[in-house]
Amino acid sequence: MSHNFNGKVAVVTGGSDGIGLALAQLLARQGARVAICARRPDRLEAARAAIAQHGTVEAHQLDVADDKAFAALVADVAARHGRLDMMVNNAMAVHYASIEQLSLDDWRGDFAVNADAVFVGTKAAMAVMMPQGHGSIVNISSTCGIRATPMMASYSASKAALIQFSAVAAMEGARHGVRVNVVVPGQVQTPATEAYNAQAPDAAAATTDAIPMGRGGQPDELAEAIAFLLSDAASYITGVALPVDGGKAAQLYMPG
């Protein structure tokens, strides 16, 4: 779908690969000025070069768990461009362990990125968007945030917190022209997913087979859904958590 993002300014966290990279490329291709951030400088530079082929981009090495640096980045981008139209909190952290084995530090690490940083990014964006009278924020959750998954307590709980926080932000922003929505991906064929699949092909095949559509999603498919919620085509949509998961969230499991 084509949207008119000409002249609009976007910040995308976790923009160096996967969903974030696909989204940044799409927004740049459709006219937006995109600022991405990520932790790894090599991947960040490769992403910047790839996005630059489509439009205007700037890249910032940043860990979104550094709340002061993250808030300052959002404010700086808005100040330099004179506006901030779109904010996408996409960066994520995950620890895979049973509750018995999960440390408090690991629990807090997932919350620092998946919930705390979403609060910081949303707050910083709203501080610009509310006075200017418009803006769209999309926060990225997971089906783990709406369905229980063993061995993923910290990830699931933090992604669930993100959804409820975003609903509150949507209520607070609504009368100021600021929309806040959530996209809820299922399995997406990102580099991290592909690396896991290569290490555990049998488990990967079983996971994919359990998706009603029989496949994982592509980053471009998630990017299209996010771009729609960012766009004026979704001007009357706020407070929504949209599953983009091949039907997984709607599925009632029945033992074979």
Q: Which residues are marked as active site? A: 155
Alpha-carbon span 110 to 130, nearest angstrom:
29
Radius of gyration of the CA atoms of the chain, in A: 18
- For 33-55, the DSSP string reads EEEEEES-HHHHHHHHHHHHTTS
Residues in CB range of 221: below 8 A, 6 or more apart: 244
Alpha-carbon span 164 to 182, nearest angstrom:
10
Alpha-carbon span 42 to 61, nearest angstrom:
10
Alpha-carbon span 136 to 124, nearest angstrom:
13
Region for 82 from its dihedrals, namely left if φ exceeds 0, alpha if ψ lies in -120 to 50, beta otherwise: left
Alpha-carbon span 147 to 154, nearest angstrom:
13
At 117 the three-state DSSP class reads helix
